[in-house]
Amino acid sequence: MSAIYNTFNYFIDTFILFHYPLSVNQNSVTISLIAAIGKNRELGKDNKLLFQIPEDMKFFREKTRGHTVIMGRKTYDSIGRPLPNRTNIIITHNSKLITQNDIQTAGSIEDALEIAKKIEHEEIFVIGGAQIYSLAIPFADKLYLTLVDREVPGADAYFPDYSRFKKILEKRNSSDSHNSYTFLTLTP
């Protein structure tokens, strides 16, 4: 009887694993960085974005809408308000600087991600600036980059090295009257 019982359990376990495989990332939230960068990973100058590309801005809005976004205080200051239709988490050392009800604050990228994971069930977006990208990239699962085919002398903010992101999930070339650019989605 014991042999029959063990064989039955083996087949049940095999059936369950085959039809309902376990995944390490099951129930985890994707952490993504999203940015428009120049040929040398240029991001900004004087706390302003270098590239004002309408198609990229639309892409950003569509990707991040309805999700949680994490940004540094300087990025928040440059935007001047919380992004609508998103949960906004601002990384700052002085949470009293930001007093709006629809904003949460965190003292570190780790704290921000912990807060975000309690709220977000699909994808968390880190939206800048340069220092926050550098702190967040070790945690990132995905990058959404708009690679602008232009060098910008005098840039003072750069996207971090992303050479560990080798798998191209999506690539699309585009241009407007001022720039040629590529939308690129990458994973490690």
Decide: 146 and 186 in contact? Cβ < 8 Å. no
pLDDT of 100: 72
Which pLDDT does position 102 carry in this prediction?
75
In a domain, 9, yes or no: no
Q: Please check whether residue 40 lies inside any domain of the structure.
A: yes
Q: So what's the pLDDT on residue 43?
A: 97
> By three-state DSSP, how is residue 75 classified?
helix
Which pair of tokens denotes residue 125? 């977006």
Q: Which residue has the tokens 């340069």?
A: 130
Residues constituting the chain: 188
36 domain residue, yes or no: yes
Q: Does any domain span residue 171?
A: yes
pLDDT tens per residue across span 78-114: 999 999 999 999 999 987 767 677 799 999 999 999 9
104, two tokens: 């949460």
**Residue 19 · residue 129 · CB < 8 Å:** no
**Six token digits for residue 128:** 């800048």
Number of domains in the chain: 1
Q: In this structure, is residue 90 part of a structural domain?
A: yes
Q: What is the rounded distance in angstroms from the CA atom of residue 81 to the CA atom of residue 102?
A: 10
> What is the CATH number for 83?
3.40.430.10
Q: Which domain holds residue 42?
A: 29-187
Nearest to 72 by CA among 54, 41, 47, 99: 47
CB 133 within 8 A of CB 35: yes
The whole-number pLDDT of residue 6 equals 46
Cβ atoms of 41 and 153 within 8 Å: the answer is: no
Query: Is 137 part of a structural domain of the chain?
Result: yes
Tell me, what amino acid is at 91?
I
Q: How many angstroms separate the CA atoms of 76 and 160, rounded? A: 20
Answer whether residue 61 is part of any domain. Answer: yes
Asked if residue 18 is part of any domain, the answer here is: no
**Model pTM?**
0.84
The predicted-structure confidence for 54-70, as pLDDT tens digits, reads as follows 999 999 999 999 999 99
3-state secondary structure of 13: helix
